[in-house]
Structure 1
């Protein structure tokens, strides 16, 4: 998640797809394998399954029927727990649509944001999907601040675009309009995010006192701290900040200040050693964009301004 205060984000767009099983037998086959036929007719003709891209997956996923997704499930509206404890959100709906194309379940597993790429490297997860900004540093396994190598890089399949926003307690914006207005003030952010990186970068430019930072495991903890008066402002990706402004306290807790900056792609992170899975995910994303399911999902969550028109591999800078 990145810096230039006046830049406006690029226009955006979105995706999603689903199809039904042809027969009860076909439905059972769907969950366990990637066979692209549901069986033969008496005439010898083959039927197509409801998972048109199943054959693109590596065989181990076809056999298991599951792709494990690492995600920080505390980032509404992208992924979060609803009042009944169910995992919901933009990423969750998109993952379900991708799974329909591929004939597998994309199963979400919760983790803190700054541990997701490590979990991907250790093969705890097959992919990471968590409002993660595709950056060159992450592609190359570099520390975003020092540029030093910190691990194996990853590939991204880019599926959305979002900028970074600043918000304050409602009626208490203190004249904050740009990141430089935060000099000498305190901001709360989620640890390891682009908002965190941006706060550190902008603090170095301050002439009247650095930007003080308090970091948290998730964005909701940061919002609680701000609400209690423990900071002057918070920052997160625009969809998350906008959702918090709209919903927290029925819209009475926060307000957005200034323009969102540093529009950049969200990417699904995949190990560089797994290009076949990467290509299958890309094909599935293109399919749901083309059939209109993607657009339905982004509209459902009110984030159509961030939609993309095609899947791109490693489009981040």
Structure 2
């Protein structure tokens, strides 16, 4: 699905760029100027960050992409994929960028597998555009006394595969074993909706997700009757738009575009629309994750 870009687009038939008056169009790589499109890899099943409703892609990321597209003069084309395949899709040039509530951290910047600590592929650069921590949620009224990750020792949690919540659950489980409290049983799914379904059905005592996603699930699932947040956010870190290391021109153009929509107020409009002001950033940063 194509998200709205600038109305004054390049004439793709001629490959020219003289008709495009968007302020940052000429900062883009020539091939993207000619195509008039930035191909986005995204797991479009992560409300409220990106999801489909009545066949339309919507959410925080698509709305921010729309604002970025207006100042860059191109369209952002969202392509659905499972979260744990997005970076490989970026490396294989199936996508120009990955934008999918992806946490910017050193492991992803350097292409290191978080479980083995070994090089797993080429790293990526990030243009950071939001900040979010990790939250735990349980069935409503049935918290089992869970408030922290330590309370999950010896219990079962559901997460989305390949996410920071997944990595954190495995790390915390090792701590539980070290302190002889019993490991955390971690069940990982292809998307967060499947994990929520498992928890709703009693297949685990808790779930973990990025705060905006967990809060949205608590607010909307079962009309607000299915889940509740427990404890505080942990591991607050930036979301980043992932770009191939070699594609520095596109990376820098995206950074300039983000800085511009922050300055002109369009960024704040999107953040306020989705009620996630606590995660807003005030400047565009490359590779700010640790």
Short-chain TM bin: over 0.9
TM-score normalised to the size of structure 1? 0.87
Q: Does 1:264 align with 2:234?
A: no
Preserved contact between residue 155 and residue 270 of structure 1 (Cα < 8 Å): yes
Cα distance in 2, alignment partners of residues 220 and 149 from structure 1 = 30
The alignment partner of 1:177 has SS state of: coil
- The one of 9, 16, 24 equivalent to 1:53 is 24
SS at match of 1:208: coil
Distance in 2 between the 1:120 and 1:127 partners? 6
Aligned to 1:200: 170
Aligned Cα RMSD in Å? 1.6
Q: Does 1:305 align with 2:278?
A: yes
Indicate if the aligned counterparts of 1:34 and 1:59 stay in contact, CA closer than 8 A.
no
Equivalent in 71, 77, 91 of residue 48 of structure 2? 77
Equivalent residue number for residue 147 of structure 1? 117
- Residue 29 of structure 1 and its aligned partner are, at CA, apart by 3.6
| Cα shift at 1:85 | 1.4
1:280 to 234, 253, 265: 253
Asked if 1:133 corresponds to 2:106, the answer is no
Residue matched to 1:255: 228
* Match among 205, 217, 220 for residue 232 of structure 1: 205
Cα deviations by residue, 1:93-137 (Å, 9 ceiling, x for unpaired): 001111111111110000000000000000000000000000100
Q: Which has the larger radius of gyration?
A: 1
The corresponding residue for 2:183 is: 210
The answer for the alignment partner of 2:37 in structure 1 is 66
The residue matched to 1:244 in structure 2 has which SS?
A: helix
Q: Secondary structure at the match of 2:175?
A: coil
Deviation at residue 208 of structure 1 after TM alignment: 1.6
Choose the corresponding residue for 2:147, options 177, 181, 201.
Answer: 177
Structure 2: 5+ residue stretches without partners:
none
Please name the residue that 1:43 is paired with.
Answer: none
> How far off is 1:147 after superposition?
1.3
> Does residue 71 of structure 2 align to residue 101 of structure 1?
yes
Distance in 2 separating the partners of 1:237 and 1:230: 20
- Cα distance change, pair 263–34 in 1 and its aligned pair in 2 (3 A): farther
Distance in 2, matches of 1:28 and 1:261, equals 43
Aligned residues: 283
Q: Which has the higher contact order (CA 8 A, sep 6+)?
A: 1
Which structure 1 residue ranges, 5 or more long, are not aligned? Answer: 1-17, 22-26, 39-47
Distance in 2 separating the partners of 1:99 and 1:243: 26
* TM-aligned CA deviation for residue 30 of structure 1: 7.1
User: 3-state SS of the aligned residue for 2:197?
Assistant: helix
Q: 1:271 to 1:109 in 2, by over 3 A?
A: same
- Give the alignment's TM-score, normalised by structure 2: 0.94
Determine the structure 2 residue equivalent to 1:110: 80
